[in-house]
């Protein structure tokens, strides 16, 4: 009942609509038309105002054909940079970026799958519960859309998020994350006439980063500095460097320890250079997610995969997603892989057949949920 050609057409249309974080207005309007055409009542919350974006989260209520609890289908509308002017390249079953931008399969594959499943339900008159569709904003900049989602608009208490790579995998565990926003202060001086009078913030930052444990720390923990900005001119000893980074872990204790380690390296480097100091702001972006295999939603997904004839396993993932936030806000959700690959790079690609497989499992879940 899933129409692969239709799913592919919608995906290709969506990836050509620019939708960087806080600039999801165009795609939100397109998706509102899509869902309204399927008989859904579409609402927008005020999350856009809170994050200074073009639009809020899209929340749509699709009427059920069975008297059963509503189920949630969720994906995010925004993409990362470089994500403007996407020109998808078709190569048989594979759709890839042309190498100048990301493809946007993260997460327009999830968006397209949800729309196709709703359309298949309505087109074929399938029994299904009421469906709450949530398309969030600003997932890529700290899960801000889900954080500010008006959950009062959401009737469902459990459901699926579509925002991961591996087809045939449902992710039930995800790390928590801390963001580190650090300014290293030094002292400016003329680099040619009086360099001895200066304290280089660049040098302090470099020494600190060189001393840190970064990237893959252990099987559950990662860390990274993503941006470094500083310096005024080549003939001035730099007096300020701005660092932005993160630490992630499935284990809260390890997350705290890694964050403390990164800060300690910065403070020790500053202490070696009198006149330098560190100004740090640490924020918890999201907490770890753990969903047991015997929960109602996992039992539903497992049964749906069996009904669709698609193998499925549960696993842990290294990235956070809207599911982290939604589970902390009273819902029970897991993250279903859509087949997106090489995400956040200009080599991004996916196979349409993987999207079809995820859609078939989802459609089977909707039908089974009619009898919950």
CATH code, domain carrying 74: 3.40.630.10
Could you say which of 232, 264, 286 is where a domain stops?
Answer: 286
Same domain, 190 and 170: no
Same domain, 21 and 141: yes
Q: CA 27 to CA 78: how far, in whole Å?
A: 9
Q: What is the pLDDT of residue 126?
A: 97
Q: CA 295 to CA 372: how far, in whole Å?
A: 13
Q: What is the pLDDT of residue 372?
A: 86
**How is residue 198 written in tokens?**
């200066």
279 CB neighbour count, 10 Å cutoff: 12
Q: Do the beta carbons of residue 150 and residue 46 sit within 8 Å?
A: yes
Q: What is the pLDDT of residue 265?
A: 98
What's the average model confidence in pLDDT over 260-272?
98
How large a percentage of the chain has pLDDT more than 90?
98
At 305-362, the pLDDT tens digits run: 999 999 999 999 988 999 999 999 999 999 999 999 999 999 999 999 999 999 999 9
Annotated active-site residue 78? The verdict is: yes
Q: CA 198 to CA 196: how far, in whole Å?
A: 6
**How is residue 124 written in tokens?**
């074929």
Q: CA 199 to CA 273: how far, in whole Å?
A: 7
Annotated active-site residue 13? The verdict is: no
Q: CA 148 to CA 171: how far, in whole Å?
A: 23
Tell me the β-bridge partners of 353.
none
Backbone angles phi, psi at 48, to 5 degrees: -60, -40
**How is residue 176 written in tokens?**
């928590």
Separation in Å, CA 200 to CA 205, 272, 340: 9, 12, 43
Q: What is the pLDDT of residue 157?
A: 97
What CATH number does residue 275 fall under? 3.30.70.360
Separation in Å, CA 54 to CA 18, 80, 196: 13, 16, 49
Helical H runs in the chain? Answer: 4-15, 25-36, 47-51, 105-124, 144-147, 201-210, 252-271, 296-308, 322-328, 352-369
At 58-115, the pLDDT tens digits run: 999 999 999 999 999 999 999 999 999 999 999 999 999 999 999 999 999 999 999 9
Mutual angle of helices 105-124 and 4-15, in 10-degree steps:
140
Domain holding 248, by residue range, is 176-286
Same domain, 264 and 333: no
Same domain, 121 and 197: no
Same domain, 233 and 340: no
**How is residue 327 written in tokens?**
């589970």
Same domain, 350 and 228: no
Same domain, 281 and 327: no
Catalytic residue among 34, 78, 132, 354: 78
Q: Do the beta carbons of residue 239 and residue 279 sit within 8 Å?
A: no
Q: pTM of this prediction?
A: 0.90
Residue owning tokens 């594959």:
109
Catalytic residue among 107, 139, 246, 322: 139
What domain count does the chain have? Answer: 2
What's the average model confidence in pLDDT over 193-218?
98
Average of per-residue pLDDT values in the chain: 97
Could you say which of 234, 265, 286 is where a domain stops?
Answer: 286
Q: Are strands 131-136 and 71-76 parallel, antiparallel or unpaired?
A: parallel
Same domain, 274 and 301: no
Q: Do the beta carbons of residue 304 and residue 369 sit within 8 Å?
A: no
Same domain, 292 and 149: yes
At 36-62, the pLDDT tens digits run: 999 999 999 999 999 999 999 999 999
Same domain, 246 and 153: no
Same domain, 21 and 62: yes
Same domain, 111 and 21: yes
Question: How confident is residue 167, by pLDDT bands cut at 50, 70 and 90?
Answer: confident
Please give the angle made by the CA atoms of 4, 9 and 15, to the nearest 5 degrees. 125
Could you say which of 231, 263, 286 is where a domain stops?
Answer: 286
Using the predicted structure, report yes or no on whether residue 166 has a pLDDT greater than 90: no
Mutual angle of helices 25-36 and 105-124, in 10-degree steps:
10
């Amino acid at each position: 009942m899933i129409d692969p050609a239709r799913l592919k057409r919608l995906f290709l249309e969506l990836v050509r609509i620019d939708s960087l974080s806080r600039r999801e207005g165009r795609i939100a309007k397109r998706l509102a038309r899509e869902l309204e055409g399927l008989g859904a009542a579409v609402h927008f919350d005020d999350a856009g105002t809170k994050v200074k974006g073009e639009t809020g989260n899209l929340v749509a209520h699709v009427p059920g054909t069975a008297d059963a609890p509503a189920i949630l289908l969720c994906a995010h509308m925004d993409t990362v940079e470089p994500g403007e002017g996407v020109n998808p390249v078709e190569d048989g079953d594979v759709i890839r970026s042309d190498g100048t931008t990301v493809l946007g399969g993260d997460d327009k594959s999830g968006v397209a799958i949800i729309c196709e499943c709703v359309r298949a339900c309505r087109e074929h008159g399938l029994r299904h519960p009421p469906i709450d569709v949530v398309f969030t904003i600003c997932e890529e900049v700290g899960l801000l859309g889900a954080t500010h989602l008006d959950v009062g608009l959401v009737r469902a208490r459990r459901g699926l998020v579509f925002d991961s790579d591996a087809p045939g995998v449902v992710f039930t565990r995800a790390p928590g994350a801390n963001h580190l926003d650090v300014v290293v202060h030094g002292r400016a001086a003329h680099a040619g006439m009086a360099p001895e009078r200066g304290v280089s913030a660049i040098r302090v930052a470099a020494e600190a980063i060189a001393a840190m444990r970064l990237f893959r720390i252990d099987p559950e923990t990662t860390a990274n500095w993503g941006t470094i900005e500083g310096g005024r001119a080549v003939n001035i000893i730099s007096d300020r460097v701005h660092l932005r980074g993160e630490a992630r872990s499935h284990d809260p204790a390890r997350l705290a320890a890694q964050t403390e380690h990164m800060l300690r390296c910065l403070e020790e480097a500053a202490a070696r250079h009198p006149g330098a100091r560190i100004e740090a702001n640490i924020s918890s972006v999201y907490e770890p997610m753990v969903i047991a295999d015997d929960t109602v939603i996992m039992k539903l997904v497992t049964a749906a995969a069996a009904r669709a004839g698609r193998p499925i396993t549960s696993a842990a993932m290294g990235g956070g997603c809207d599911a982290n936030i939604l589970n902390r806000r009273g819902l029970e959700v897991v993250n279903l892989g859509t087949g997106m690959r090489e995400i956040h790079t200009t080599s991004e690609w996916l196979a349409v057949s993987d999207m079809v497989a995820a859609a078939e499992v989802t459609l089977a879940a909707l039908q089974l949920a009619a009898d919950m």
